[in-house]
Chains A and B, each alone.
Chain A
Amino acid sequence: QQQVKQSPQSLIVQKGGISIINCAYENTAFDYFPWYQQFPGKGPALLIAIRPDVSEKKEGRFTISFNKSAKQFSLHIMDSQPGDSATYFCAASREYGNKLVFGAGTILRVKS
């Protein structure tokens, strides 16, 4: 059972554009929703995370939007740069980080 569904599988964005990646979850007990960024040959690294008590969190060019009623959350990358080209994973867990369940990933390519 896939508990976190992520889309799209891949995304090509022009430099300076907005990248949007979406995730949907099933388990209403999830209370922690991070996004991880992974470059080839590296492990995933935490990018930004949100708890369900807020609907939006912004850190620099990265924003998470969270819709609790729809059980959906998304990552927006503003002013996308070639250096943002990587694979992005959404994830979810109960108990703040324990047993993270990851989405299948989105390969982002930012064209210069």
Chain B
Amino acid sequence: EAGVVQSPRYKIIEKKQPVAFWCNPISGHNTLYWYLQNLGQGPELLIRYENEEAVDDSQLPKDRFSAERLKGVDSTLKIQPAELGDSAVYLCASSLGGAGGELFFGEGSRLTVL
């Protein structure tokens, strides 16, 4: 069974440029998460989806970050414009819906903003 797939794995951009990350969760997983992992730190939740609905986006910096999960499967996380401090790994995870449970993480997208 395929795991959580993320792309691109690596992205280098100039500050003020836009960037987008894509995530394909495990088939059948209704809950999808985007986490931010800074170097040497644990993951921090940005947004959680239950199917198409963003049920927790309280930690998403909405002035520059946006996310969508059309049709309740794949998801895209966008940053526009990117700032130097956005350099980090963006992790996508999925789990079976309802009361949560084990999170399955993708390998992450590493963003470097110059």
- Give Cα distance in the complex from A111 to B107, angstroms: 26
Chain B residues bordering chain A, tally (CB within 8 A):
23
Query: Looking across the interface, which residue of chain A has its beta carbon closest to that of B59?
Result: A99
Q: Are B105 and A43 in contact (CB under 8 A)?
A: yes
Residue A100 at the B interface, CB < 8 A? yes
Q: Choose among B42, B44, B56, B99 the residue that contacts A97 (Cβ–Cβ < 8 A).
A: B99
Q: Are B106 and A43 in contact (CB under 8 A)?
A: yes
Query: Looking across the interface, which residue of chain A has its beta carbon closest to that of B43?
Result: A102
Residue B69 at the A interface, CB < 8 A? no
Fill in one digit per residue for B87-114: 1 if any A CB lies within 8 Å of its CB, else 0.
0000101010001111111111000000
A residues near B100, Cβ cutoff 8 Å: 32, 93, 95-98
Residue A89 at the B interface, CB < 8 A? yes
Residue B26 at the A interface, CB < 8 A? no
Residue A54 at the B interface, CB < 8 A? no
Q: Are B42 and A104 in contact (CB under 8 A)?
A: yes
Fill in one digit per residue for B31-69: 1 if any A CB lies within 8 Å of its CB, else 0.
100000000111111001000000010000000000000
Q: Are A102 and B105 in contact (CB under 8 A)?
A: no
B residues near A41, Cβ cutoff 8 Å: 107
Residue B4 at the A interface, CB < 8 A? yes
Interface size class of A (residues with CB under 8 A): 20 to 34
- Give Cα distance in the complex from A100 to B37, angstroms: 13
- Give Cα distance in the complex from A99 to B103, angstroms: 10
Q: Are A105 and B99 in contact (CB under 8 A)?
A: no
- Give Cα distance in the complex from A104 to B40, angstroms: 7
Measured CB to CB, the residues of B under 8 A from A are 4, 31, 40-45, 48, 56, 91, 93, 95, 99-108
Measured CB to CB, the residues of A under 8 A from B are 4, 6, 32, 34, 41-46, 49, 89, 91, 93, 95-105
Given contacts A44-B91, A46-B104, A99-B48, 7 further A-B contacts (CB under 8 A): A42-B108, A43-B91, A43-B105, A45-B104, A96-B101, A104-B40, A105-B41
23 contacting pairs across A/B (C-beta < 8 A):
A4-B42, A34-B102, A43-B91, A43-B105, A44-B91, A46-B102, A89-B43, A91-B42, A95-B99, A96-B100, A97-B100, A97-B101, A97-B103, A98-B99, A98-B100, A99-B48, A99-B56, A102-B42, A102-B43, A102-B44, A104-B40, A104-B42, A105-B42
